[in-house]
């Protein structure tokens, strides 16, 4: 994916396209005179061609002004401006320039944002939006497909450059590049995006950015005692992998923040077979792993002063003759035993050994895992926000703050002994499911049994990592929230 050049300039330089945002019924903004388009806009308003409704756009040719094209975008009513509305207006402005010859753009709409936000926030969001506009899933396996073409090469914000604004632009662009990688991995079919493909992607990131990559194979993990992870993997001929990436941007003596991402590259449900309808979407069950790799792409671009380790358990979950069965008991790397009541609750089985391995190997400052873990999360929160649960309120609060800032939102659900009791087993230390009620919480209570000695947070991204329907595809979330969180933890 190409990258757009970002610049700041306070002079009214010439570009081929100018974007101006206007509030509804406030169409005499002084900015119009500054760019010499007040008469043109007044004519459009008089003719009823533009009134400033939210996300309304109007593209006109503006000869004699600072640009060849003028794009007006509506913000709606000033006193009703919200983050969502600003982002909707920006998305509309970007869409208005699709399939045009616009190359060099002055984006003056960046000057408008909700009162509780600031200019750096607006620069971040606009830059991320412009960079994301180039994304197009164009793997050769897609067949006949005309790749998205965009002539845009540069965006100039009519602002004086400052360190904070420059950093915001860098964050927005790097986040978008990380999201693109996450989307590509999620969108690939599972016969291409195998555990080995994820491992190769991690190895390539390590080469590109100077990370350290380590990949554990099946025999090594069996010898280590990863009985829970290997139980899921025993039913697939596709070799499982434990993929580790290390980024050391701060003092090597500082404990790293560890990200653990579920990498089930295809989930049939195993012996507890899923219904056939929409089973193709189970290729997205590795979006936690894809998120970790996307975040590392962003880290490589930004090079922040923070230490981060990524751990990805990757496997298929298949219903083979040697697959695990309901009623089987397995022993995890931690030594705790697990009764398998449902083989479709496999994500927690691979994550628990990854969480233990991460703690044993890296002695992390904190652990954050992310997984498309439960359908119950979609029932609870829909597709708008991800769930966050954890044993450390400070960590949860910091993640929520980063998610609110980026509008890649998280919503906290509780943990507690009441839900933990649902995991009781007559035949092992715990069962791998806790019944129908509170499925997202009981899944997290399961993981909590493997993270008692470290600050830990779990992100259930089942409802946000991809979208179904006509626009089916991976979303790239929650890369923005995690990048913002990691930047906030710089030394």
CA neighbor of 301 nearest in space, from 196, 186, 183, 172: 172
CA dihedral defined by 234, 320, 187, 354, rounded to 10 degrees?
-20
Whole-angstrom distance between the N-terminal and C-terminal Cα of the chain? 31
**Residue 38 main-chain phi, psi, to 5 deg:** -65, -40
Catalytic residue among 218, 297, 348, 449: 348
Measured between alpha carbons, how far is 51 from 47 in angstroms, rounded to an integer?
10
Residue 262 known to bind ligand: yes
Known catalytic residue: 274? Answer: yes
Measured between alpha carbons, how far is 226 from 88 in angstroms, rounded to an integer?
46
Q: Which two tokens stand for residue 391?
A: 């044993």
**Measured CA distances, 200 to 213, 215, 233 (Å):** 10, 9, 19
Q: Which two tokens stand for residue 311?
A: 């751990």
> Is residue 367 within 8 Å of residue 355, measured between CB atoms?
yes
For CA atoms 378, 380, 383, 385, the dihedral sign is negative
Residue 344 known to bind ligand: yes
Residue 29 known to bind ligand: no
> Is residue 157 within 8 Å of residue 123, measured between CB atoms?
yes
CA neighbor of 127 nearest in space, from 101, 102, 105, 143: 105
Residue 346 known to bind ligand: yes
CA neighbor of 138 nearest in space, from 129, 150, 126: 150
3-class SS of residue 17: strand
Catalytic residue among 148, 274, 365, 489: 274
Catalytic residues: 274, 348
Which residues are documented as binding site for Mn(2+)?
Answer: 262, 267, 285, 344, 346
Which residues are documented as binding site?
Answer: 262, 267, 285, 344, 346
């Amino acid at each position: 994916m190409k990258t757009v050049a970002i610049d700041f300039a306070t002079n009214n330089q010439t570009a081929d396209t100018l974007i101006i945002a206007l509030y509804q019924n406030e169409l005499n903004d002084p900015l119009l005179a500054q760019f010499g388009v007040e008469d043109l806009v007044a004519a459009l308003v008089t003719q009823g061609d533009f009134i400033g409704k939210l996300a309304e756009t109007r593209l006109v040719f503006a000869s004699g002004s600072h640009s060849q094209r003028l794009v007006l975008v509506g913000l709606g009513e000033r006193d009703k401006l919200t983050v969502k509305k600003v982002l909707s207006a920006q998305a509309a402005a970007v869409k208005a320039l699709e399939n045009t010859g616009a190359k060099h753009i002055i984006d003056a709409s960046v000057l408008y944002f909700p009162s509780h936000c600031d200019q750096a926030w607006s620069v971040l969001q606009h830059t991320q939006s412009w960079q994301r506009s180039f994304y197009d899933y164009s793997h050769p396996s897609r067949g006949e497909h005309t790749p998205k073409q965009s002539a845009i090469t540069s965006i100039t914000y009519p602002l004086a450059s400052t360190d904070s604004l420059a950093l915001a632009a860098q964050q927005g662009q790097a986040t978008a590049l990380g999201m693109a990688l996450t989307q590509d991995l999620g969108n690939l079919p599972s016969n291409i995006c195998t555990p080995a493909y994820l491992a190769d992607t991690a190895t390539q990131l390590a080469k590109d950015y100077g990370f350290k990559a380590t990949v554990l194979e099946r025999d090594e993990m069996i010898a280590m005692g990863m009985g829970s992870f290997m139980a899921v993997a025993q039913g697939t001929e596709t070799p499982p992998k434990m993929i580790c990436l290390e980024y050391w941007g701060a003092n090597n003596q500082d404990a790293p923040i560890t990200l653990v991402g579920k990498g089930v590259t295809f989930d049939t449900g195993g012996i507890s077979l899923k219904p056939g309808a929409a089973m193709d979407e189970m290729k997205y069950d590795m979006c936690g792993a894809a998120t970790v790799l996307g975040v590392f792409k962003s880290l490589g671009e930004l090079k922040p002063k923070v230490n981060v380790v990524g751990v990805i358990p990757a496997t298929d979950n298949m219903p083979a003759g040697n697959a695990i069965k309901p009623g089987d008991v397995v022993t995890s790397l931690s030594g705790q035993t697990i009764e398998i009541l449902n083989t479709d609750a496999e994500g927690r089985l691979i994550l628990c050994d990854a969480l233990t391995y991460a703690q044993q190997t890296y002695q992390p400052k904190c652990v954050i895992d992310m997984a498309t873990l439960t359908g119950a999360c979609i029932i609870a929160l829909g597709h708008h926000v991800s769930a966050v649960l954890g044993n450390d309120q400070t960590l949860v609060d910091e993640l929520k703050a980063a998610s609110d800032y980026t509008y890649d939102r998280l919503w906290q659900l509780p943990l507690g002994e009441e839900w933990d009791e649902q995991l009781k087993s007559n035949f092992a230390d715990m069962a791998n499911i806790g019944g129908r009620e509170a499925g997202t919480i009981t899944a997290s209570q399961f993981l909590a049994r493997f993270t008692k000695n470290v600050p830990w947070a779990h992100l259930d991204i089942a409802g946000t990592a991809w979208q179904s329907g006509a626009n089916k595809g991976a979303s790239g979330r929650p890369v923005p929230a995690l990048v913002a969180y990691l930047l906030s933890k710089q030394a």
